Every structure is written in structure tokens, then in C-alpha cells.
Amino acid sequence: MNALLPGKVALITGAASGIGRATAEAFAREGARVLVCDVDEAGGEAAARTIGAGGRFQRCDVTLEAEVAAAVRRAVDVWGRLDCAVNNAGITGGPGAIPDLDLERWNRTLAVNLTGVFLCLKHEIPVMREQGGGAIVNMASGAGLVGVPGLPHYCASKHGVLGLTKTAALENAKTGVRVNAICPGSTDTPLLRGLMAADPRLEQMVLATVPAGRLGLPGEIAEAAVWLCSDRASWVTGESMLVDGGSLAR
């Protein structure tokens, strides 16, 4: 079977665990060389080792522009180009209704989930434009399309990611740089498990919203990212792709 990303160079943020790590591993299986980026140095190094010779780790806090710029430069310095990027780093910010949410938590959630994606796009796009093309996937959420009571900061950040994605896609439609978003449904990741551990009722509530009757797997989200970054998706840009077991098919 032919690989989907032979010889491509990819940068993936939030790649030490969960969807990001599964994505890094999937890209490597499909022939890409992968820069694993995360603030979790131990987890990121482990992910890069799992990938093998085609993997490198770069510490990157996506809220800090200097670190984002350094990550993009590292990919180019090591492999000479940047063909794909998956801007996946994100946090939930923890539950809290609007009146109960303090400004610090609001600002932190938007800094990671929204400003972080903006900074990644800001530094990835010029490199891809200069080399004549590339593909970017921003990790949004089903919460980027509908409201979720108790997560106003998370919802606002993920709605913003979809607006950024569409704008970036339109700005680059003639440059050869495609920009899309994935909207995962409830996926079995450390992030979701942490939320559910804080409220034992939450797991039942979450599963009740999924027609498929189970949580998604990180690898299932990763496969969508692989396809969107492959040449098979050459006519796809500005898309907000739901990968959610039918949760929002209503």
C-alpha cells in the first residue's frame, strides 16, 4: 500500500499525548518526517523516540511567539522545508459557567487554544508560501460548532479556531497553502479523562451524546488529519470536518 505522505515534513503541536501523539505516529507511518512539539518534554521526547529516525522533539509553548517561530525554523533547519502542520495544542480550561469563570482562566484558555493557533499560522504560512504550497490542519472541536454549558471559554476558543481557519484558507487559496480544521467529538484522551474524573456523572453524560455509543479513539482523529494533509485532499480548503461518531448529525 502506498504511503500518503512520502517524504513530507510535518510539525505537530501538542504531540506528547492524546490526539497529537497519535497524529505524529500516523504521519510517520505514512512516510512523513515529524517534528514533535509540546511543553511536556518527557512525553515529547518519548513520542519522538517512538517515531524513530524520522522524528525530532522541539519544546514549544504555543502561547510564546518566539518558541513557535523557533519550532518552525527547526523543521526547516533539519529537513529543509515544512509541508504539513497540525496545530493541535489545546486545553479545556476546566468547567465553569460564565458568572463563575475568572478572567485568568478565560485568558489562559484563549491564549493556548486560539492565540496559539494564530501564532502557528503566522509562522507556518510564510514558509509554505515561499516553497510553493503546504497543508495545515487546525484542531478545533464539536464545541466549535455548538455551545456547551459550563465551557464558555473552551467553546469561544474553538469557535474562533474555525473563523481563523476559514480566513487563512481564503487568504491562501491562490498560494498553494491549504488550511482546514478538524472538529473531533468526545475522544478518549488524557484531557477528557481528566474532566470526567472530576465529575463521575460526566462520562455517562458524554456517552449519551454519542450515537456510536463509545468515545472516539485518538488514532481515528489522526487519520482525518493525515488525509487532509495528503495530496488526495488537494481540492479541500476552509473545511471544518466533523469526526464525532455522529454526535452533531442532528
Residues 131-185 have pLDDT tens digits of 999 999 999 999 999 998 999 999 999 999 999 999 999 999 999 999 999 999 9
Res 117: pLDDT: 98
Look at strands 33-38 and 9-13 and give their pairing.
parallel
Nearest to 4 by CA among 31, 39, 38, 23: 31
Kindly state the DSSP code that residue 172 receives in the 8-state scheme: T
Domain of residue 104, residue span = 9-187+219-231
Residue found by looking up cell 472516539 in the block: 216
Res 74: pLDDT: 98
What distance in Å separates the CA atoms of residue 45 and residue 15, rounded to the nearest whole number? 10
Q: What is the pLDDT of residues 87-100, one digit of tens each?
A: 999 999 988 999 99
Rg (CA), the chain: 17
H-helix or E-strand spanning residue 200: none
Res 88: pLDDT: 98
| Catalytic residue ranges | 154
C-alpha grid cell, residue 205? 453524560
- Whole-model pTM over 0.85: yes
4: in domain:
no
SS3 80: coil
Q: Is residue 11 predicted with pLDDT exceeding 70?
A: yes
What contacts 165, CB < 8 A, 6 or more positions away? Answer: 138, 140, 179, 180, 181, 238, 240
100: in domain:
yes
Res 1: pLDDT: 66
What distance in Å separates the CA atoms of residue 21 and residue 14, rounded to the nearest whole number? 8
pLDDT-above-90 percentage for the chain: 83
17: in domain:
yes
Instruction: Give me the residues paired with residue 184 across strands.
Output: 243
Res 35: pLDDT: 98
85: in domain:
yes
120: in domain:
yes
Q: What is the pLDDT of residues 190-225, one digit of tens each?
A: 777 777 777 777 777 777 888 888 889 999 999 999
Q: Is residue 4 predicted with pLDDT exceeding 70?
A: yes
pLDDT-above-70 percentage for the chain: 99
113: in domain:
yes
Q: What's the farthest any 2 CA atoms get from each other in the chain?
A: 54
CATH number at residue 92: 3.40.50.720
CA dihedral (237, 229, 213, 191) positive or negative: negative
84: in domain:
yes
What distance in Å separates the CA atoms of residue 70 and residue 35, rounded to the nearest whole number? 12
Please give the residue that has the higher pLDDT: either 80 or 191: 80
C-alpha grid cell, residue 167? 480566513
C-alpha grid cell, residue 232? 488526495
Alpha helices, DSSP H only, in the chain?
A: 18-29, 41-51, 65-79, 103-110, 116-131, 152-171, 190-198, 201-208, 218-229
Edge-to-edge strands of the sheet including 134-139?
A: 55-59, 33-38, 9-13, 84-87, 134-139, 177-184, 240-243
Alpha helices, DSSP H only, in 80-199?
A: 103-110, 116-131, 152-171, 190-198
Please give the residue that has the higher pLDDT: either 239 or 148: 239
Res 102: pLDDT: 96
- Average pLDDT in the chain: 94
Res 188: pLDDT: 84
Q: Structural domain tally of the chain?
A: 1
38: in domain:
yes
